[in-house]
Amino acid sequence: MGSLDGQVIVITGGGRGLGRAFALHLAGLGARMVVNNRNRVVDENGLGPADHVVREIRDAGGEAVAEHGDVADPATARHLVELALGTWGRLDACVTSAAVSGPAMFHKSSPEAFEAVIRTNVLGTAQVAAACSAVMRERRHGRIVLVASTAGLHGEPTVSAYAASKGAVIALGRTVAAEGAPRGVFTNVLLPYALTQMTESGMAAEHRHLMDAGAVAPVVAALCDPRGTLNGEVIVAAGGGLRSADSVEWGTVLTSETATETGTEEGGLSPARLAGLLDRSRKGPAHRYTNARDGFLDLAEEMNR
């Protein structure tokens, strides 16, 4: 028996790239899969990417059904949940892997193109996760894995919409994690490096061995495992390695302090003085919070001392 035997998992974007690797790995561990991928391209038999992944899973002795909706459509989220419950009577985990990129320099990106990326990557992720979360909260058990990107942490030239969307997914994941924990629904965010349709053209040959999508799949499986209790984690993963990532605020400095260390005038806040204060802050202790309110209260306490 696999570690996910009998678990029912919904995965979006499961027909290609990372999503396909995740779906096949999860099914290999015994999970029953609802594989979503919109049918932009079909073969001569009218079968799309999700259909082919489902066939692979079934040929290997697993259980899976295909779903072809666009995650940007709210009806897709409802249908995915209905399909899981109608087929197997339960829903245990959700992996949101569907995404688009839309490369363009920021100043050349049209509002329509920017919106299309946000609609798929942010709204599509949120709608599916919310629909699954509602069912999981009733059962007081569930695992949610939101797939984001290090572009959402650090930014990435020429893909401003994609970077903005993935930053939103990271913040969404941390928020959903805080809300879901009391109900036994744990949410984590995965930032994978892997060779996919979106990354293949810009990948140097010497790094390709680190970009196997299948090498990231075990992290997804561990996060979907009902025995796991990780929650609110942001995990960077590639080629059999991983890093924990976090949002950090450094040391607190007061803008009202004298500016002797920066060599600028006292009073006011010149650009040079601001740069000096930020440098001092970065030399202070790192602060990590599970929510914004705790961050504010800690800042207020330090400033009132």
* Residue numbers annotated as active site: 162
Please give the backbone phi and psi of residue 140, each rounded to the nearest 5 degrees, phi first: 60, 40
List strand residue ranges (DSSP E) for 151-259, in order.
185-192, 234-238, 241-245
Under 8 Å between Cβ of 15 and 49 = yes
Provide the 8-state DSSP code for 193: -
What are the tokens at 73?
Answer: 């459509």
Give, for 144, the enclosing helix (H) or strand (E): strand 142-147
| CA-only gyration radius of the chain, Å | 22
Tell me the residue type at 174: R
Total Cβ atoms within 10 A of residue 218 = 15
CA 85 to centroid of chain Cα atoms: 24
Under 8 Å between Cβ of 140 and 91 = no
Please give the backbone phi and psi of residue 16, each rounded to the nearest 5 degrees, phi first: -145, 165
Q: Select from 63, 39, 61 the least CA-distant residue to 50.
A: 39
DSSP, collapsed to helix, strand or coil, labels residue 300 as: helix
CA 290 to centroid of chain Cα atoms: 17
Cβ burial, residue 172 (10 Å; 0-12/13-18/19+): buried
Question: What's the rounded Cα separation, in Å, for the pair 192 and 97?
Answer: 10
